Chains A and B, each alone.
Chain A
Amino acid sequence: MGGGSSANPSARSSSTGRAINALQNEFPLGRNGYFGEPGTSKTEKNRQIISEDPDSSFQRFSKGWTRGAKVDSSVKLTDGTSYLHPDGTRVNVRPTSASGSPAVDIKSSNPRVKDQKIHFEGAING
């Protein structure tokens, strides 16, 4: 049999674990495995992170979640870049999602994080 990287789950999970820890102050991971708060839909995996500067929040979140991951050029996103972590977690960074707001999809192999799509929305003042 050919193919297959050597299995070392503890080592492979480190880049996603580091992302969770590095972002914990600004983007805490809830006990339910989700970031942010529920979105407008009824599906819990649709999340939103609301801030006064959503583009900046999106940039910081994306940077944290793609550190240690490789770009996967075999995935062609409508607008964005797909990254694959050594533990198999896939992170799709979408500067413009179908809804118009920047978004990050996480397909997680880390048991602490559930699969989710996070939209970055602006706070409504007043």
Chain B
Amino acid sequence: MDEFGYHLEDSAINDLVMLMGATWDSVGTSNRVIGDLEAGDLLTCPALLITDQHSVALSIDDNEDLIGGDYETLTILKAVPIGDSIKKARKQGTLFFHGKGERVRSIHLIREEVTQISNGTPTFHISSDSGVVIALESVVIRLQRRGLDGFDFLLAQAPSLDEVSFYRADQDWPMSLTVTHEFRRDLISLT
């Protein structure tokens, strides 16, 4: 079975950890927002996570890999320099202020895995980081890439960690009589 791992670099993880305990400002993008899709508001790259002390910009890289006999698009999450993104986002009004002024209580990394099984035999396994879940005092923010081949983020919020809903990346991997895909999602605590 072929194994593929597309995980956030340690420096990006460290950037996210630095949000812990800070006072939340907003989440958004310096690019485009398309509102009210089924799985949340769609944000194009870079996605911005902004607190009073530290901010992080997440982006998504193109990546085509030979998997299961054909080239799949399997994008890669990464942290990028913020530059003037926050200023631009504030100016154009593409920030969301749920939980503004609240303290960041926990941060979880969203990791998604797909295993393809063909005629009963595992063919490949993909493990890929897809975003973050940030718990504030009264609201939880979920920022998730739109599938393992996605170039966008989907933003949603929930009252608690247990009530967070996710984009169903498993729907991107169709089943047939001979080929099935097993899917799992883990929330990895960064704090």
Report A's interface with B, CB cutoff 8 A: 1-7, 9, 12, 39-46, 70, 72, 74-78, 82, 84, 86-88, 90, 92, 97-99, 105, 107, 109, 114-115, 117
Contact = CB atoms under 8 A, between A and B. Distances in A.
User: Which of B34, B35, B37, B178 has the most chain A CB atoms inside 10 A of its CB?
Assistant: B34
Contact of B174 (A39, A70, A98, A114): A114
B105 interface: no
Given A78-B64, A90-B151, A45 B173 contact: yes
Contacts of B127: none
Contacts of A76: 61-62
Contacts of A46: 70, 72
B167 to A, nearest CB: 11
B153 to A, nearest CB: 11
A105 B73 contact: yes
Contact of A42 (B61, B68, B150): B68
Contacts of A5: 33-35
Contact of B62 (A43, A77, A87): A77
Given A72-B44, A114-B174, A41 B70 contact: yes
A79 to B, nearest CB: 9
Interface of B: 26, 28-29, 31-37, 41-42, 44-46, 59-62, 64-73, 93-98, 116, 118, 123, 146-147, 149-152, 172-174, 176, 178-179
B94 A72 contact: no
A105 B62 CA distance: 12
Contact of A107 (B67, B147, B174): B147
Contact of A3 (B60, B67, B93): B93
Nearest to B31: A74
B173 A117 contact: no
Nearest to B92: A3
A45 B96 CA distance: 34
B149 A107 contact: yes
Contacts of A97: 64, 71
Contacts of A39: 70
